Every structure is written in C-alpha cells, then in structure tokens.
A = this chain, B = another copy of it.
C-alpha cells in the first residue's frame, strides 16, 4: 500500500494536479487516498528523499518549489554522475549496449522533435536510466534516483510555465542529448572540454595549496 500511495502522490505532483508550494496536509491526503496517516507519512518521507516534498516539523509539508540554484545543482551534479557512469561502463563495454543506447536516443530525438513532451520525458528518463544501469554501480544508481524526481519536478513546472518541457536538445542537457544526435563531434568536444576543465580546476586548486 505504501508504495502505491507514494506512486499516486508522485503522479499527482508531477502532473501539476498539486502544484509546487501547495500544502500537503496529512489528514486530507489520507482521506483522498483512503489510507491511514501511518502509510501516508512513510510515503511522504519517500517523496522527501526524492526531493518532491519539503517539510518543517510541527507546522506542515508542501510540494517542493525549485529555485534557479536548485536546478543548476541538479544539472551540474547529474553531469558529474554521468561522466562517472561512463567511466564505469567503459571496461565492460559491449556493442549491444551501445546499439541499444543509440536506438533509445534516436527514439528520444524523434519524440522531442514531434513535440510530444510526455513521451520525450519518459524516453529521456529511460535513456539516462540505461546509462546508470549499465554502470552496474548500485550506489550510483541510488544517487540518480535522488536526482530523477527533482528533474521531473523541474520539467513539469517548466512545461506548465512555458508550454514546453525544460530541457530540449539545444538546452541544458545538450551535452548528452547531442551525444548520439546530429553532431557527434560537437558532443565529444563538449564532454571532453567539461572533463578537461575539471582536471584543470582541480589541479590549479591543488597547486594553490600551501607547501608543507
């Protein structure tokens, strides 16, 4: 039951049925979903973990409302995690996996170009999920789980505000959306630049340390 409640509440939030900032009163929700407050509270805890809900003790819980900084954090951390995922995949690479990844990304680009937001969101989540799954790194997948809900929340809010979902192939996550798209070289440059930047900044930081 608990998982089912979390699922339904998550759907209600991501669909915009319960908008960001809206209060989530436990008694009201327990009536709505026809469960006691016990399971409902545990469902809320899970959604808190996923970043869809925020709560302040003894006063109330609300649907999360992401700031610009939040979104920047989501995307920057996702980039770091995904680069790490690629590192993990490389030693166990196989052609079937890469073909599957390529196929899914093609499907993603088709849905994006068709303007079917719901389908493209779903397809994109599957695409990224495949990358993390292929890494075989359970903790990494767990970290991705903690990001996915926040991403969806942002996409949903952005879509309702601007009529299109937030990330598009030429937008925030172009680094990976472009990966298997029109310009493979551009994508290679982009990821390569990002990582080289990381190397450089880290090494500069290290050099800046006081000598012993």
Interface residues of A (CB under 8 A from B): 38, 41-42, 45, 49, 70, 73-74, 76-77, 80-81, 83-84, 86-91, 93, 98-99, 102, 137-140, 142-143, 146-147, 150, 179-182, 184, 187-188, 191-192, 195-199, 201-212
Q: A192-B199, A206-B188 are contacts. A143–B77 as well, Cβ < 8 Å?
A: yes
**Do B208 and A203 touch across chains, with their CB atoms under 8 A apart?**
no
User: Once the chains bind, are B192 and A207 in contact (CB under 8 Å)?
Assistant: no
Bound Cα distance A162, B42 (Å): 38
* Whole-angstrom distance between the Cβ of A20 and the nearest chain B Cβ: 17
A178 to chain B, nearest CB (A): 11
Whether A73 lies near B140 (C-beta < 8 A) is yes
Q: Cα distance A86–B199 when bound, in Å?
A: 10
Residue of A41, A76, A202, A209 most packed against chain B (CB within 10 A):
A202
Closest to A203 in B: B192
Are B199 and A195 closer than 8 Å at their CB atoms? yes
Beyond A86-B205, A90-B205, A143-B146, 14 additional pairs, beta carbon < 8 A: A42-B42, A73-B137, A73-B138, A76-B88, A76-B137, A77-B139, A87-B201, A90-B201, A98-B208, A102-B209, A139-B150, A187-B206, A195-B195, A196-B199
